[in-house]
A and B are shown apart, each in its own frame.
Chain A
Amino acid sequence: MSLPPTAEAAADDQTYAVVEEEHGLSPRRVGPVVMDIRNITLRFGGVVAIKDISFDIREGEIRAIIGPNGAGKSSMLNVINGFYHPQEGEIWFRGEKRGSMKPHEIAKQGIARTFQNIALFKGMTTLDNIMTGRLTKMRRNMFWQAVWSGPAEAEEIEHREKVEKIIDFLEIQHIRKTPVGRLPYGLQKRVELGRALAAEPQLLLLDEPMAGMNVEEKEDMSRFILDVNEEFGTTIALIEHDMGVVMDISDRVVVLDYGRKIGDGTPDEVRTNQDVIDAYLGVAHD
């Protein structure tokens, strides 16, 4: 789907820049700003988790958020999907300033995410977990649900077909009916990605999707992320510690340290940024 460019984005020459990928994928179109984060400050009592951070996410790009432990990356995602309420700052989504919203309302706007510590529904199967990801798209009321035969069943089957496509895409057909609690870690991460994809999000937030994986699993996950981005045109913001992966798959990178933004740009720009190098090498702050 195409979105009207925001006022500022339209003025920006670089709107619809064609990004040439280093890793040999076909060039993609990166569109206008979909998410604009402006001067966000988030405090927990005395702890300042995020201090006056601004950055934007453009349509169709893969935006990485990196930084040392405790830098405020996960908190940033929690702000974006409405779980934390920042004390200061504004969030603009698709050209509109977001008022006070609950997380489930934000989910309905088309923002989905995965969690750093897997947050699957343990008592449910893979299939049910991913079907749950489509809850916001289902409409039948309690009466029809109670009767089941007819509209509710038809709706269920319609969504089941969509979910089966995701299951095929993620190559998890064999664990369709397995309770997720029994799955190994790597597969759980994949199911969680499936659950987020089921919502057909416009913006997908991934919190360390590859943490704790071996090289092979990381390669699989990188491929899925790139495919999602390419095939469905989904905008992705991801947190990742593995620099190799970040440099490979992301279009732009924002670097946080102690709740501040210390770098923002293409992987190459960030890599050569002196503040970023210092932060990662642990140079003392003055």
Chain B
Amino acid sequence: MFYREAGEFKTSYQADQATFPIAFDRWGYCAVVAVAFLVVPFLINPYWEQAIFLPFLVFAMAALGLNILTGYCGQVSLGTGGFMAVGAYACYKLMTAFVWMPMPLVVILAGLCAAAVGIVFGLPSLRIKGFYLAVATLAAQFFLIWLFNKVGWFYNYSATGQINAPERDFLGILVTGPNTRPWATYLFCLSFVFVFAWVARNLTRGRIGRSWMAIRDMDIAAEIIGVNPLMAKLSAFAVSSFYIGMAGAMYFAIWKGAAEGTEAFSIEISFVVLFMVILGGLGSIFGSLVGAAFLTLLPVLFKNVLAVQLGWPTDIAAHLEVILIGALIIFFLIKEPHGIAALWRIIKEKLRLWPFPH
């Protein structure tokens, strides 16, 4: 009854193309943001930080990036882990080489490094599509990890081959290293996701976003109405890798504090992020966030309910989780390729008509 556009007349094109045209959504969004920034920091503890909030924020950033490439521009990629590794190692090199550099700048520059690498590995997309492109990005994944393990310069020739984030503060508050406070790391990552989710929304609603979607939906027609496929595809690879690189930097420096290429950024991560995008919704910013939330919460839920509460063996709980995720992915791929975001939209459309369905 409350959820409708009635009484809300759009008097300008500006209002018509607003992100949340319905007042109810606008308030909901403001409430979520207010709670995230003003309430959660006071309640957060180290367990919630490490098990839920930081993983969610890091993967949300990665999912936003992959969704730009796969969901908006239609280029399948299995190189997410590799590009996250680029972000992580770039972050490490920047932190150790330029001790004075403020952390936000480090993360952004690490993202830009990943963007440059993304452009290079995006070049095959000009010639090959779909499954073949996925295989080419797989090559990027394995090559990059191999490179970071092989060349000592990347890990400053440390004996273990690991990279460890040195302690850094931002505005006098520690954000990396072993002595950080949960609210500080949380707010740092949250600010990044908040700002860049908004940037992603802006990029996808205008000229550049339409050129990506045009390439995704019908590349020949896109080219004939004036989209330069080279620019569209490479810009999608660049922006996508920029996000994924920042996610890798936050993963390494803020969340884990240390990383080892082969383990941290394996092909498994590439698949997890791809599943987040598929489950959340291809071609949806909201879907990227929902997908990341869903797949970070699910394991925690399974572990706590099945293993801790009900006393099931942990391996059975873990296997059940994998089975459930697999089933959900099959379901969504067949039934609703636009994921949870689309289900949500359908519910809202029904709500808008309720209680008079006609």
Contacts and interface: CB of A to CB of B under 8 A. Distances in A.
Interface of A: 81, 83, 102-104, 107-108, 112-113, 115, 119-124, 128, 131-133, 135-136, 138, 140, 142, 145-148, 152-153, 155-157, 160-161, 164, 195-196, 199
A167 to B, nearest CB: 12
A155 B214 CA distance: 19
Given A142-B203, A160-B13, A122 B229 contact: no
Interface stretch (B41-49, B78-86, B135-143, B219-227): B219-227
A145 B222 CA distance: 20
Given A103-B224, A199-B225, A146 B213 contact: no
Contacts of B11: none
B202 interface: yes
Given A121-B217, A142-B235, A145-B202, A160 B225 contact: no
A120 B221 contact: yes
A57 to B, nearest CB: 18
Interface stretch (B54-62, B204-212, B269-277): B204-212
Mostly, the A contact residues are helix
B228 A132 contact: no
9 contacts: A103-B224, A107-B226, A123-B213, A124-B210, A133-B225, A145-B202, A145-B207, A145-B209, A146-B199
Contacts of B227: 104, 132, 135
A54 B351 CA distance: 61
B160 interface: no
B309 interface: no
A113 B224 contact: yes
A45 B12 CA distance: 55
A204 B294 CA distance: 48
By CB atoms of chain B within 10 A, which of A83, A140, A147, A152 has the most?
Answer: A152
Contacts of A153: 14
Contacts of B203: 142, 145-146
Chain B contact patch, size range: 20 to 34
Nearest to B14: A157
Given A132-B222, A156-B13, 17 more contacts: A81-B224, A103-B224, A104-B228, A107-B224, A107-B226, A115-B221, A121-B214, A123-B216, A132-B225, A142-B203, A145-B208, A146-B202, A152-B206, A157-B12, A161-B13, A164-B13, A196-B225
Contacts of B202: 145-148, 152
B220 to A, nearest CB: 7
B205 A102 contact: no
A140 B206 contact: yes
B226 A128 contact: no
B226 A122 contact: no
A121 B213 CA distance: 8
B171 interface: no
A140 B207 contact: yes
Nearest to B199: A146
B331 to A, nearest CB: 20
B283 interface: yes
Nearest to A115: B221
A145 B221 contact: no
Q: Which 6 A-B pairs have the closest CB atoms?
A: A107-B226, A136-B226, A119-B221, A121-B217, A148-B202, A138-B207
B223 A103 contact: yes
Contacts of A102: 223, 228
Nearest to B207: A138
B218 interface: yes
B17 interface: yes
A112 B223 CA distance: 11
Given A132-B225, A142-B208, A147-B202, A122 B218 contact: yes
Contacts of A115: 221
B13 A132 contact: no
A196 B115 CA distance: 34
Contacts of B206: 138, 140, 145, 148, 152, 156
A192 B81 CA distance: 40
A132 B210 CA distance: 6
A152 B206 CA distance: 8
Contacts of A131: 210
Nearest to B196: A146
Contacts of A120: 217-218, 221
Contact of B226 (A83, A119, A147, A199): A199
A147 to B, nearest CB: 7
B346 to A, nearest CB: 13
Contacts of B216: 123
B221 to A, nearest CB: 4
B104 to A, nearest CB: 16
A85 to B, nearest CB: 14
A104 B13 contact: no
A124 to B, nearest CB: 6
Contacts of A164: 13
Interface in B228-268: 228-229, 235, 239
B194 to A, nearest CB: 14
B192 to A, nearest CB: 14
Contacts of A148: 202, 205-206
A142 B239 CA distance: 10
A131 B211 CA distance: 10
Nearest to B205: A148
A195 B225 contact: yes
B224 A83 contact: yes
A245 to B, nearest CB: 24
A119 B283 CA distance: 20
A156 B17 contact: yes
Interface string B8-47: 0000111001000000000000000000000000000000
A231 to B, nearest CB: 21
